[in-house]
Amino acid sequence: MDVSIASSTGQTVFTGTYNVSAGNNQPFEWNGQGSDGTQYPDGNYTMTATAKDSSGNTVAVTTSVGGVVSSVNLTQSPPLLTIGGQTYTMSQIQSIIASSTSTSSTSN
């Protein structure tokens, strides 16, 4: 599988080729570093993934992303969740996992 990541201005910042097995849920995590090792800032990036079967034919690649839900809009039908500045319906969400960071508050 070939992966390419571009910045919001369209500049390709990362490319890589990875061996994957057939089937769903092949993980890919990007650490924010470019192909040259440059650490890129937080922001909006676009990932393109292409794959070929054993005969060299291009096959479809579906992707999913993970993120922190920043808001839920229950006034819409269906309700909308905002993740990374993008809105998603509940039917687009595959799973919800509790954050590993805990939040505590104190009062005086």
- pLDDT, tens digit, for every residue of 19-60? 877 666 677 788 999 999 999 998 888 888 888 888 888 888
Instruction: Check if the beta carbon of residue 71 is closer than 8 Å to that of residue 82.
Output: yes
Sheet holding 12-17, edge to edge: 12-17, 2-6, 46-52, 58-59
- The fraction of the chain above a pLDDT of 70, given in percent, is 87
Q: Give the torsion through C-alpha atoms of 21, 26, 31, 34, to 10 deg.
A: 50
Tokens of 89: 């319906």
Q: What is the pTM of this model?
A: 0.62
Instruction: Please tell me which residue, 84 or 81, carries the higher pLDDT value.
Output: 81
